[in-house]
Amino acid sequence: MHSLTPSSGISPKSVRRAPPFRLVPSRLVTQSAYRFDSANVPNAAAAANAPSPPPSLTNYSGGVGRSRADWQSSCAILASKVVSQQQDTKTAGGADNLTAVNGHKTLDLVPIDNLPRPLTITDLSPAPMHGSDLRVAYQGVPGAYSEAAAGKAYPNCEAIPCDQFEVAFQAVELWIADRAVLPVENSLGGSIHRNYDLLLRHRLHIVGEVQLPVHHCLLALPGVRKEYLTRVISHPQALAQCELTLTKLGLNVAREAVDDTAGAAEFVAANNLRDTAAIASARAADLYGMQILADGIQDDSSNVTRFVMLAREPIIPRTDRPFKTSIVFAHDKGTSVLFKVLSAFAFRNISLTKIESRPHRNCPIRLVDDANVGTAKHFEYMFYVDFEASMAEVRAQNALAEVQEFTSFLRVLGSYPMDMTPWCPSRGD
């Protein structure tokens, strides 16, 4: 900002007059570049440098005069007008919830306290540590053994039935459920291969296991006798686990497989099939109003199914209790690598509890050309291994570091606490 003196040659009359302030809603901002260098030119600098006022304020009474007293008088008049305008705004806003801003009526803004709260991750999927509010997906319908396993793993949880194993995986991935409880092996029927394939296809983590005694019952509609039966339906593994007992009962019936045990009981009850029985749990009989024709018909009393609990995030491994770790690996140098992999655990005194092979879907066959004998075809497999050690232990970390040197693919499915609950083989839950 330049100082103006009488010697500068600028006359106050030649300078365009402009108000030395700018008015914004709710307050008055006064801007003045006044510098008193001479009594004759008090307002020249302010007139030159002041910003242009809004159009609504250009025509005001009482402009800037030629003296300091005139300028102060103009400011006082304008200040009184602003106070009067603010009082009019408050009066206009009292009725019909309208607020006058710069002479225009507008609706009041919504108060901050009444605004809706934005959703958070906690709202979309609460994942508490305890089972009281946990949502657990399982395959089957109410009364299935998977539902009992979910209740054993997470007491008082909200069990979510799914019609397929794949749906249970997707329920956790899509935040519809917090956990999934799925069977992976049975002491009589062996591994459930479908779930092993799904473990590799999806990115969920094993966070625990539960072993559930299986107690099969032969169910039929009330009043139906065994002699009237022509068909028995149930899950394929349940039929295999009760095959000898069904023969001892003298039942000359057809055996048909369905998706799950409780679903078989539901199907018989819903369709009023008096010539068909179902193999399911005692809880399924209570839920669907069926009678128990024979109790405990499994061929072996030591019939246990192992379930794994799946979550979106892994748990932190610990060393203060027994842990189990599940891995899957593949190799591309023949079966000789398998011996080296197993030796990595044997040298460190790590016990293996399970080893399972599944076809390598991306590369099921490996061709080896030999000029002397021709082309050899080798089947390629993925190997699933469970071993008793926590990933927090140094020996487990060193074992996997060695395994990684011999394999083309290695993935840790989870490191989780072992199920150490006592079990009585005479009667299931």
The residues carrying an active-site annotation are 305, 307
Tell me the torsion sign for CA atoms 34, 35, 39, 44. Answer: negative
Cα torsion 268, 269, 275, 278: sign: positive
3-state secondary structure of 234: strand
- d(CA 128, CA 297) in angstroms, rounded, equals 39
**How far apart are the C-alpha atoms of 382 and 196, rounded to whole Å?**
10
Under a CB-based contact definition with an 8 Å cutoff, are residues 232 and 254 in contact? yes
Phi and psi angles of residue 376, each rounded to the nearest 5 degrees, phi first? -100, 140
Distances in Å between the Cα of 359 and the Cα atoms of 76, 193, 365, 380 are 92, 10, 9, 6
Q: What is the DSSP string of 92-123?
A: HHTSTTEEEETTEEEEPPPPGGGSPPPP-HHH
C-alpha span between 136 and 144 (Å, rounded): 14
- Rounded-to-integer distance, Cα 298 and Cα 426, Å: 11
Residue 210 vs residues 1, 198, 207, 340, 421: alpha-carbon distances, Å: 82, 19, 11, 31, 9
Q: Residue type at 191?
A: S
Distance CA 75, CA 30 (A): 9
Structure tokens at 92: 């206009």
- 84 vs 71: CA distance, rounded Å: 20
CA atoms within 13 A on the CB side of 266: 13
- Token pair for 341: 């992999």
38 CB-near residues (< 8 Å, 6+ apart): 4, 5, 6
